[in-house]
Amino acid sequence: MKVEGLRRTFPGNISVLAGLDLDVAPGSFVALLGPSGCGKSTLLRLVAGLDRAEAGHVTFTPTLERTPGERAPIAYVFQDAHLLPWRSVLDNAALPLELTGVPKAERQAAARAVLEQVGLGDATERYPAELSGGMRMRASLARALVTHPRLLLLDEPFAALDELTRGRLDDQLRALWRKLGMTVLFVTHSISEAAYLAERAVVLSRRPARVVLDRTLELPTERTAALRTEAAFAREARLLNEALEQGEHW
């Protein structure tokens, strides 16, 4: 994915992106960090095609045009779970396939499989109101993964969860990424989460966003909770923190 000269200004002449460039290799896991309101979510929306830039463009190689038989190449996980409250977990997870015209039996089988993967195999008939915050977020993740997307965009998906649940979901997300091999662009405010999850971290300045740091993290591929106490992790976290502070004053 190549982002070139992306420019987006909101009413009131608020310039959020003023010519941002970014390259993301296929299959990589990239964490996007930056101060609140710096344009991280705007960047994600532009990549997803949910918003239009005044200038610049996002290109994908190979192209992310839907290939014949492909369900949806891009998936998006929002800040909250945003499930349809009137649908069961199974029907929520199957929704993207339903919208892309997949027959009922096929989409339900696919949704069951992905719900098993995120640990919700026994909650398929429950409704969102009957789930905990962590379970709702896992259902949201299942809905995003059900189409086997090539690009997964996550906008602070676990921000509202408690530390323990967040840690578990981080592990689950990383395991799914390693298994499925999609490209992941993960927006977060948490330095620790970014360092734990990603292969590469991009730190943006306050708006209009510019890249303060673009770093491939020097951490092992296998990541467990013990990593968080190691010196290499602390070093990466410190570097990200310094970049964030630097970005605040740009």
Partner 1 sequence: MNRSTLRAAVPPLVALVVLLALWEGAVRLLEVPRWLVPPPSAIGAVGAHEASALLGGAITTGRSALVGFGLSAVLGVLVAVLLASSRMVERALYPYTLFLQTVPIVAIAPLLVLWFGPGPRAVAVSSFIVSLFPVIANTLTGLRSVDPSLRDMFRLYGARRLATLWKLELPAAMPHLFTGLRIASGLSVIGAIVGEFVAGFAEGSAGLGILVLGAYRQLRTDLLFAAVLAASVLGLVLFGAVSLTGARLLRRWHPSAQGT
Using CB under 8 A, list all residues that contact partner 1: 45, 48-50, 72, 74-76, 78, 80, 82, 84-86, 95-96, 98-100, 127-130, 147
Distance CA 154, CA 182 (A): 12
Give the strand order in the sheet containing 55-59. 14-23, 2-10, 55-59
CB of 39 to partner 1, least distance (A): 17
Q: How far apart are the first and last CA of the chain?
A: 26
* 62 vs 101 by CB, closer to partner 1: 101
Least CB distance from residue 33 to partner 1, whole Å? 22
Compute the least distance from the CB of residue 100 to partner 1, in Å. 6
The minimum distance between CB 88 and partner 1, in angstroms, equals 9
CA distances (Å), origin 46, targets 19, 61, 200 = 13, 17, 20
If 0-12 CB within 10 Å is exposed, 13-18 middle and 19+ buried, where does residue 167 land?
A: middle
Q: Distance of CA 104 to CAs 70, 72, 75, Å?
A: 16, 17, 20
| Minimal distance, residue 147 CB to partner 1, in Å | 8
Instruction: Kindly tell me which of 101 and 224 has the beta carbon lying closer to partner 1.
Output: 101
- Within 10 angstroms of residue 92's Cβ, the number of other Cβ atoms is 26
DSSP state of 180: H
Nearer to partner 1, 123 or 239 (CB): 123
Using the minimum distance from each CB to partner 1, give the nearer residue, 45 or 166: 45
Nearer to partner 1, 95 or 213 (CB): 95
